[in-house]
Structure 1
Amino acid sequence: MATSPSHQLGEAIGDFFESAIINYLRPVISRKGYYLDYRHPRPARGNRREVIGTDLNGNKHKLDIVIEKGGSETEAGIPKAFIEMAWRRYVKHSKNKVQEIAGAILPLVEKYAKNMPFYAAVLAGEFTENALSQLRSQGFYVLYFSYSEICSLFESTGLSIHWEENTSESELQNIVDSFRALKEEQKNRLLQNFFTTYQDRLKKLADALCEALDTTVSEVVVTPVHGITRILESVDDAVKFIADYDEASMAPVLRYEISVRYSSGDEYMMKCTNKTKAIQFLNQYIN
């Protein structure tokens, strides 16, 4: 079934927007020695186009951009950043979209928590301040371009993409046809205008991303916890037990408490019940 002109136009704008962010970040990521994955046939995933992430519960999530350490076209790497992009024409759709983004990314951030992944949402069109604040409160770096800003950007090439809910199908089709008729020179100018006009905002995104990618483990604190757990019936009994406890005696190790501290000031903690699990946990940080 053919899609409506408004849907086609939304897809065209979204595709331009996604391509622009990829083209801006690709050289930045390459200089850092990381791999930028996006929707395209990739041998590492059997030449499938879609970028798919799987969370701890086995649920699969479609993704826009994943930045990997040690990744290549033929080898899957370790996810270090997730960047989602979205275009929405109307405010009424913004809340559902940010919930969709959070629902896809946060389970993956949990899965790769030990890598301290960076995660961002790059949004364009009509989004409420509440929707943007919701993402920020969940730890997302949010980069937002308003609908009027995007309209002005396209007008710089002589193309008006402005439409309302009462815009006729024929008018929308004319916009779609004009969009598709843009010459390569016009597309390149549009891209350069985007980079120039929003240089400051784009650089802040790149800087925040690079800061996250540059984060390294600064120290590891290992605390072997000795002792036999006692369950006591009263506070007085607990006080007596602590007062009489011989700290010099070497009781069996209950667990290893490990704190991995990063150069950014972040910290990731794990409690392991035995040496094997503690070593396995730390080995994940050795690449």
Structure 2
Amino acid sequence: MAESSSHKFGQELGKLIEDIVLNDILKPRLQQFVQTKNYYLDWQRTRPARSGKKVTWKDKYENKHDLDFVIEVDGNDTQLGTPVAFIECAWRRYTKHSRNKAQEIQGAILPIVELHNLSAPFYGAVLAGEFTKPALEQLRNNGFAIIYIFYPNVVAAFNEINLGIAFDETTPETTYTIASQQLANLSISDRKKLGEALISVSKQEVDSFMDTLEKTLERYISKIIIIPLFGTKHEFKRIDDALIELNTLDIDSPSGGFDKFEIIVDYNNNDRIRATFHNKTLLADFLRKLKS
């Protein structure tokens, strides 16, 4: 069966918008950000540290996912670092497809985030077109930072280059055919003008997204140390009594039952948390809170 003109146009339009969003809007801001920090930005291109051009990471179930952007700590062209940010981009023309796409993004990124939870990674989605409020809330409620370029703003950006794209399911196939030809013949100057228009309509969303990214990456967990302590407790009111007992204490043959857990959480900015827990349940609850 021959591909319909509407489907062909939708694919070409989506590819163009995602290309502009990724390469003209988001990548320059991300590159500017990582240059001021000890971070490495990876996107789809050739990189000696991995095979192929795709940015592929495994999740906790060993499934592989191709992503648009990943920010790493201590990464470089030849060595993979620790991932601290995952970002996906998507275009959808109709709201009936938006919930599925939101679930697809969520299903790809959250299991990767769980695998790398000690680095408390940032994760975000850059969406353009028509996405329902429940689809957006679903992502936000699961911790995603969002850039959302609403469909009317996309249409307005294309109007800047005199290219109408406000089509729907009743638009004749011939109209889609003409629009596809216009997309194929888009001049370099119109491509640049279109990019500038989309940057303009998305600036507030992008600024908010980048602010959230920076605040999230200001601090991440670099190490967690758990020390279970066993032995007999000795209490003293005088230093001299403590010194006497210390001299007679046999550390080569320890005895006694479990006393407590000592936990140390180190962050990359040299912050440190030290805490004491007397049972596993309370310690597990504390660790879960660190993930949130």
How many angstroms does 1:29 deviate by? 2.1
Give the match for residue 152 of structure 2.
148
User: C-alpha deviations, 1:10-59, integer Å up to 9, x for none?
Assistant: 2222222222322332222222232211122222213x121111012211
Deviates most, 165-174 or 105-114: 165-174
**Superposition pairs of residues 242-261 of structure 1, within 5 angstroms:** 247-248=233-234, 251=256, 256-260=261-265
For residues 22 and 100 of structure 1, the distance between their equivalents in structure 2, rounded to whole angstroms, comes to: 22
Match of 2:115 among 111, 118, 126: 111
User: C-alpha deviations, 1:191-246, integer Å up to 9, x for none?
Assistant: 2233333322211111111112221559977553437xxxxxxxxxxxxxxxxxx7
SS in 1 for 2:49: helix
**Superposition pairs of residues 1-287 of structure 1, within 5 angstroms:** 4-5=7-8, 6-20=10-24, 21-46=26-51, 48-216=52-220, 224-226=228-230, 247-248=233-234, 251=256, 256-260=261-265, 262=267
SS in 2 for 1:68: strand
User: Which consecutive aligned stretches of 4+ in structure 1 deviate over 4 angstroms post-superposition?
Assistant: 216-223, 252-257, 265-269
Normalised TM-score (structure 1): 0.76
For residues 2 and 263 of structure 2, the distance between their equivalents in structure 1, rounded to whole angstroms, comes to: 56
**Structure 2 portions without partners, runs of 5+:** 235-253, 278-292
Deviates most, 187-196 or 246-255: 246-255
For residues 162 and 274 of structure 2, the distance between their equivalents in structure 1, rounded to whole angstroms, comes to: 51
Name the % identity. Answer: 37
Contact between 1:69 and 1:78, CA under 8 Å: does it hold in 2?
yes
Cα 1:252–1:145 change in 2 (3 A) is same
Cα 1:168–1:17 change in 2 (3 A) is farther
User: Using CA pairs below 8 Å that are at least 6 residues apart, which structure has the higher relative contact order?
Assistant: 2
The higher radius of gyration belongs to 2
- Partner amino acid for 1:127? F
SS in 2 for 1:198: helix
Contact between 1:24 and 1:195, CA under 8 Å: does it hold in 2?
no
For residues 63 and 227 of structure 2, the distance between their equivalents in structure 1, rounded to whole angstroms, comes to: 35
- Partner amino acid for 1:89? R
For residues 186 and 23 of structure 1, the distance between their equivalents in structure 2, rounded to whole angstroms, comes to: 20
Contact between 2:149 and 2:202, CA under 8 Å: does it hold in 1?
no
